[in-house]
Chains A and B, each alone.
Chain A
């Protein structure tokens, strides 16, 4: 049983990691086209990526947008989850579904609808609208993970804190928040990844001259098909790895297994 299980795990891992390995191969291939097997090893496409004003501007914009999304979606998602979990008011179930609906809807529709809304309202396209779009699709991930943690946490602990004289704010800070922290962190991690890799929503909401990295890559891909795209993908992958390692160092990824 154990060898069969290990083999199955190995196959699944290979299935998941092979595309990443192929991207890395393409990024290191010195040829002016994407081909396999690579004819050698070169960093020329990384050089081109980092020297490209367009790609770098897109990279920093995506990074900034991702971080802003993490903070705001983390705040909104966490507070909304607490209200929906602990509050007693009519229509809670409907509200939960409503908040989670952007996960269910195809993102391309969400993007198009937000674009249309911005146009009809005369808001035009700008960074604020783009951030709002990212928040719409990223916040449900925070909400979902925090709701899961709240459902598991023992409410009696919060009540005990209140009975012992803690203010609501202190009970939240010293009891509730530590209990739900893995959910908040996991949700924020998802929110960052959703924002940084966001394509369908950004496609409609980016304003001219302010393209995010996935949009810049897509536009590049339509006209130039060299290893720069693979290098850009490698940088994205590396960023995700750094993020995961950082969180592991900070709070330990094993915490997430509770979710």
Chain B
């Protein structure tokens, strides 16, 4: 039996030094690296190919995009003074959730974002945490080959002729489903916050096919499994060359599905984060994302090509049709709503 090797002082020092050096060797944030959240699909392609390289060159930096969901728990789990992201990109409901956890600033410093002077007021309204960079309009998508009388109102979604032919979302998991829930409160009750009216409307919505992701609904519309669904205009317009699908902006207005940027609290890259936000609001980025991905820009001075007119929301009259939902209130009620709608749709 051999003599056990004892831990001597030299070994201990070497081990300690090695341990302390690990962050520097592996994980410490590289100087001048901006870490942001982002999406996949066409959004990711355009960002990677056309938008990020321009920013990196102009600012001599690197942009690291995390496209692996979920972002909120990752941000919550990172140390407060050392957030895993510098800029948090998400929809409004998630921005409210992280703001209430104290993880992001309520608003970027607009004095460091000169392009903010050219955007519509809704992009920095009281319903928004951070600043809106693009918007999709949530309305009703319908198939021309399956629907004889096109929908005109949100109430048409509950029309018995669409029973079993309409698609919606798993409300606990999808913000379009949550928007529809609040819209039902306005249609059949006293307003967006009328929970009882919304719950009753959810019961009347059955039979309905529910999806987790907009991608699932989009596919079901493309394949003709659905005649009518709640969907954002971006998903409809980019598929109109493939199948006979139309977007209906209901008479009550379209729900605003904002893409929002906020600066995380404690970021070491605050200046670069503000540069990034300013860049995303620049005319060239706004125009490119509008014309390549079908997002409505937030700048007031955008002139888009002919095929985008009347579809993307660029004029003050079009922007006035956007409805911003009370997401802060919704997040506060979420557990209660989730529990009840799960029971409604389970039965």
**Distance in angstroms between the alpha carbons of A125 and B64 in the assembled complex:** 12
Separation in Å of the A34 CB from the closest CB of chain B? 5
Instruction: Pick from A32, A203, A215, A223: contact of B215, CB below 8 A.
Output: A223
| Stretch from B20-28, B136-144, B145-153, B264-272 forming part of the interface with A | B20-28
Instruction: Pick from A123, A209, A219: contact of B23, CB below 8 A.
Output: A123
**Distance in angstroms between the alpha carbons of A122 and B42 in the assembled complex:** 33
Interface string of A98-137 (1 = CB under 8 A from B): 0000000000000010011011111111101100000000
B43 CB within 8 Å of chain A = yes
B223 CB within 8 Å of chain A = yes
**Distance in angstroms between the alpha carbons of A209 and B84 in the assembled complex:** 15
Separation in Å of the B130 CB from the closest CB of chain A? 20
A249 CB within 8 Å of chain B = no
CB-based nearest B residue for A203: B68
Instruction: Pick from B27, B69, B225: contact of A125, CB below 8 A.
Output: B27
A124-B215 contact, Cβ under 8 Å, with A34-B223, A208-B65: no
Instruction: Pick from B22, B79, B82, B216: contact of A225, CB below 8 A.
Output: B216
B contact residues vs A (CB 8 Å cutoff): 22-23, 26-29, 35, 39-44, 64-70, 73-74, 77-79, 82, 84, 213-216, 218-219, 222-225, 242
**Distance in angstroms between the alpha carbons of A121 and B26 in the assembled complex:** 11
Cβ of B66 and Cβ of A208 under 8 Å apart? yes
How many residues does chain A have at the interface if contact means C-beta atoms less than 8 Å apart?
39
| Cβ < 8 Å to B, chain A residues 207-259 | 207-209, 211, 215-216, 218-226
Dominant SS at the B interface?
mixed
Contacts of B69 in A (CB 8 A): 203, 218-219, 222
**Distance in angstroms between the alpha carbons of A216 and B44 in the assembled complex:** 12
A45 CB within 8 Å of chain B = no
A141 CB within 8 Å of chain B = no
Separation in Å of the A178 CB from the closest CB of chain B? 27
**Distance in angstroms between the alpha carbons of A116 and B67 in the assembled complex:** 18
A122-B223 contact, Cβ under 8 Å, with A208-B67, A223-B39: no
A contact residues vs B (CB 8 Å cutoff): 31-35, 54, 112, 115-116, 118-126, 128-129, 202-204, 206-209, 211, 215-216, 218-226
Cβ of B223 and Cβ of A123 under 8 Å apart? no
Instruction: Pick from B41, B74, B223, B242: contact of A224, CB below 8 A.
Output: B41
Cβ of A122 and Cβ of B219 under 8 Å apart? no
Separation in Å of the B151 CB from the closest CB of chain A? 22
CB-based nearest B residue for A123: B27
A224-B215 contact, Cβ under 8 Å, with A34-B223, A120-B79, A211-B68: yes
CB-based nearest B residue for A124: B27
**Distance in angstroms between the alpha carbons of A126 and B79 in the assembled complex:** 17
Cβ of A122 and Cβ of B215 under 8 Å apart? no
Contacts of A126 in B (CB 8 A): 26-27
A225-B68 contact, Cβ under 8 Å, with A32-B242, A35-B223, A204-B74: no
Cβ of B67 and Cβ of A211 under 8 Å apart? yes
Contacts of B82 in A (CB 8 A): 119, 122
CB-based nearest B residue for A113: B77
Cβ of B74 and Cβ of A222 under 8 Å apart? no
Contacts of B218 in A (CB 8 A): 225
Contacts of A221 in B (CB 8 A): 213, 215
A34-B219 contact, Cβ under 8 Å, with A203-B68, A211-B67, A215-B68: yes
Separation in Å of the A13 CB from the closest CB of chain B? 29
**Distance in angstroms between the alpha carbons of A222 and B211 in the assembled complex:** 11
**Distance in angstroms between the alpha carbons of A15 and B69 in the assembled complex:** 31
Separation in Å of the A230 CB from the closest CB of chain B? 11
Q: A35-B224, A220-B40 are in contact. List 17 more A-B contacts (CB 8 A).
A: A31-B223, A32-B222, A32-B242, A119-B77, A119-B82, A122-B23, A124-B28, A125-B27, A209-B65, A219-B39, A219-B40, A219-B44, A219-B67, A222-B215, A223-B39, A224-B40, A224-B42
Contacts of A224 in B (CB 8 A): 40-42, 215
